[in-house]
């Protein structure tokens, strides 16, 4: 008999708890509905009031509306994104750190690979000392030594000496072209790696016409 009474009491308790929960849910729904109607009845949405207050504070501090400040922030962020992707975006590019400058158009990477710049030729410093060779080597060192560079492949992977053939970029600088345009290298493209051949020829003409680098000394 006591077991039956106990079950009866449990069922009674569960029913009471369920009724109480239903009442709480109903009251909450009524409260939320009333709150929404109250907000809608206001002459201006509180969120709009907060936004306008923020605008007035920003305008007071900066002299510019909040919307214009946000536009400037978005524009700056977009500029940074563009700068970050200024190098060629394709599957033929990799990045590596330069650990050694061999001469004006050849470098060594942290993985031990030697890279020969495509499409250009600087005066020699190995085996013989060509005029302006040291200057070209020092310029190359200034541009890339110890830095992480972007390496772009054209068609060929390596030359006959096993050196990687690459176009090299550091930040916004196209290193191969910069060396030619500033008079530290000649344009010297060899098929099939001629993607930037026209650019190099134009840069060489510019350097020659303006007597830059090796074009301005008595090397030639």
Same-domain status, 185 and 121:
yes
Q: What is the pLDDT of residue 42?
A: 54
Domain assignment of residue 159, given as a range: 93-216
Percent of the chain with pLDDT over 90: 53
Q: Looking at 51, 84, 117, which one is the last position of a domain? A: 84
Quick: pLDDT tens for 27-62: 887 878 776 666 556 555 555 555 565 566 655 555
Quick: pLDDT tens for 114-168: 999 999 999 998 778 899 999 999 999 999 999 999 999 999 999 999 999 999 9
At 198, list the tokens. Answer: 């026209």
Same-domain status, 58 and 123:
no
Q: Compute CA distances 154 → 2, 131, 133, 151, 188, whole Å.
A: 91, 30, 26, 10, 15
**The pLDDT of residue 14 is above 80:** no
Q: What is the pLDDT of residue 116?
A: 98
Same-domain status, 103 and 24:
no
Same-domain status, 97 and 80:
no
Quick: pLDDT tens for 189-201: 999 999 999 999 9
Q: Tell me the catalytic residues.
A: 116, 124, 163
DSSP calls for 14-27: HHHHHHHHHHHHHH
Dihedral, CA of residue 204, residue 208, residue 212 and residue 213, to nearest 10: 70
Same-domain status, 79 and 108:
no
**The pLDDT of residue 78 is above 50:** no
Strand partners, 93: 152
Into how many domains does the chain fold?
2
Is the sign of the CA dihedral 202, 206, 207, 208 positive or negative? positive
**The pLDDT of residue 4 is above 60:** no
Q: What is the pLDDT of residue 30?
A: 83
């Amino acid at each position: 008999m006591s077991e039956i009474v106990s079950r009866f009491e449990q069922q009674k308790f569960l029913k009471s708890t369920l009724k109480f929960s239903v009442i709480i849910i109903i009251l909450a729904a009524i409260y939320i509905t009333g709150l929404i109607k109250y907000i809608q009845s206001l002459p201006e949405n509180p969120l709009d009031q907060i936004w306008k207050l923020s605008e007035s504070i920003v305008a007071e501090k900066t002299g510019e509306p909040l919307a214009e400040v946000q536009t400037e922030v978005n524009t700056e962020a977009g500029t940074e994104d563009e700068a970050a992707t200024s190098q060629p975006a394709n599957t033929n590019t990799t990045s590596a750190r330069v650990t050694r400058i061999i001469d004006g158009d050849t470098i060594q990477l942290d993985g031990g690979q030697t890279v020969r710049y495509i499409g250009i030729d600087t005066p020699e410093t190995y085996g013989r000392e060509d005029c302006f060779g040291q200057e070209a080597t020092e310029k190359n060192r200034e541009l890339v030594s110890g830095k992480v560079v972007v390496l772009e492949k054209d068609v060929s992977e390596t030359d006959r000496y096993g050196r990687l053939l690459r176009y090299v970029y550091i930040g916004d600088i196209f290193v191969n072209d910069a060396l030619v345009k500033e008079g530290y290298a000649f344009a010297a493209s060899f098929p099939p790696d001629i993607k930037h051949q026209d650019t190099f020829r134009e840069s060489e003409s510019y350097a020659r016409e303006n007597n830059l680098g090796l074009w301005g000394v008595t090397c030639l």
